[in-house]
Amino acid sequence: MQFENDIKAVDALHEAFKNISSEIGKIVIGQDGVIKSVLISIFSNGHCLLVGVPGLAKTLLVQTVADVMDLNFNRIQFTPDLMPSDIIGAEILAEDRSFKFIPGPIFSNIILADEINRTPPKTQAALLEAMQEKAITTAGLRHVLPNPFFVLATQNPIEQEGTYPLPEAQLDRFMFNIHLGYPSFEDELTIVKNTTSNRTVELKKIINAAQIQYFQKLIRNIPITDNVVEYAVKLVGKTRPNSALATEYVNKYISWGAGPRASQFLVVGAKCHAAITGKYSPDIEDVQAVAASILRHRIVLNYRAEAEGLSIEHILKKLF
């Protein structure tokens, strides 16, 4: 009986994904792959890092996702003078002479951390506990964040002067590193026509917070065969130089490989990718479908790779 219920639940998730993608596609044109990755991350209970030049609808995407999924949304614009208390909140002295905690903008279901690399490490670190523990601590008291909780941070790949690159420990908290490209000519035509007229679109709310939490638990319960798990773990192991699985190519060009969290994300992401495409158990193709976005920010190239002009994408193709 439980097996039949799980099959029906996977079918419901597959249908919900199609409806959510369709609604978001009414507003965000030409970013189907990005939309798919963001939704996989949400249903997998992970976080996303979006990398793209200005004007590619990163903010609009997050706002639209929040509307369609009936979630609260806050945007935090990261600047060099932003302090941790500006994000998590602070205690103030109330009229009755007692201290009262005033929650910051991080107390929401979806957080857009806009241009996260433009704020100092001290403020970036304020997100670490929130992203990992889904709670923050201030004045010795722990405050639990809303559930579901999802951070989508953006980075601009140009204008790096005066920025603070995210340390590897924080990068590792992001399930996906998604690169946004320019839209095609046809998609850009549609974007310009839609945004330079009086066209209005009413979005339907497809699911709510309780249903999202249910689907997040469902993903964990989806069965996966041992050979698929072994493939995911071996794929991560191949990124580690001087390990038993590393090839001569990896030893030559990679300084540091991905850690165990990458293996965990590969398995969970493969489960979710299988479910949203209507499959009841993931296979190796599902692991490969999410691998690039999970691994690209967890691999550190050495000086030889940089000197020869090799990119992470080139290294990943060799690994696959």
Residue 73 confidence (pLDDT) above 60: yes
Output the pTM of the full model. 0.90
pLDDT tens across 273-305, in order? 999 999 999 999 999 999 999 999 999 888 988
Query: Do 298 and 239 meet the contact criterion of CB atoms below 8 Å apart?
Result: yes
Helix (H, G, I), strand (E, B) or coil at 117: helix
pLDDT digits (tens, 9 = 90+) for 101-154: 888 899 999 999 988 888 888 888 888 778 888 888 877 788 899 999 999 998
Closest CA to 111 of 49, 187, 19: 49
Q: What is the pLDDT of residues 168-214, one digit of tens each?
A: 878 888 999 998 888 889 988 988 888 888 878 888 899 999 999 99
Q: Which two tokens stand for residue 92?
A: 């103030």
Burial degree of 298 (CB within 10 A; 0-12, 13-18, 19+): buried
Residue scoring higher pLDDT (54 or 222): 222
* CB proximity list for 113: less than 8 A, separation 6 or greater: 76, 78, 127, 151, 152, 153, 154
Instruction: Give the residue from 105, 109, 112 showing the smallest Cα distance to 88.
Output: 105
What's the pLDDT band for 232 if we cut at 50, 70, 90?
A: very high
pLDDT band at 164 (very low <50, low <70, confident <90, very high): confident
Parallel, antiparallel, or unpaired: how do β-strands 110-114 and 150-155 relate? parallel
What pLDDT does residue 1 have? 41
> CA-CA-CA-CA torsion for 296, 176, 188, 21, nearest 10 degrees?
150
Domains of the chain: 2-209 (3.40.50.300), 223-311 (1.10.8.80)
Q: What is the pLDDT of residue 84?
A: 87
Spatial distance between the Cα atoms of 22 and 211, rounded to a whole number of angstroms? 18
DSSP strand pairing (73-77 vs 48-51): unpaired
Q: Single out the residue of 297, 265, 77 nearest to residue 169, CA to CA.
A: 297
Exposure string for 101-137, b = 16+ CB within 10 A, e = fewer: eeebebbbbbbbbbbbbbbeeebbebbeebbeeeebe
Host H or E run for residue 99: strand 99-103
Give 216's pLDDT tier (boundaries 50, 70, 90): very high
Secondary structure (DSSP) of 35-64: HHHHHHHHHTT--EEEE--TTSSHHHHHHH
**Cβ neighbourhood burial of 202 (10 Å; 0-12, 13-18, 19+):** exposed
pLDDT at residue number 4: 56
Q: Give the mean pLDDT of the chain.
A: 88
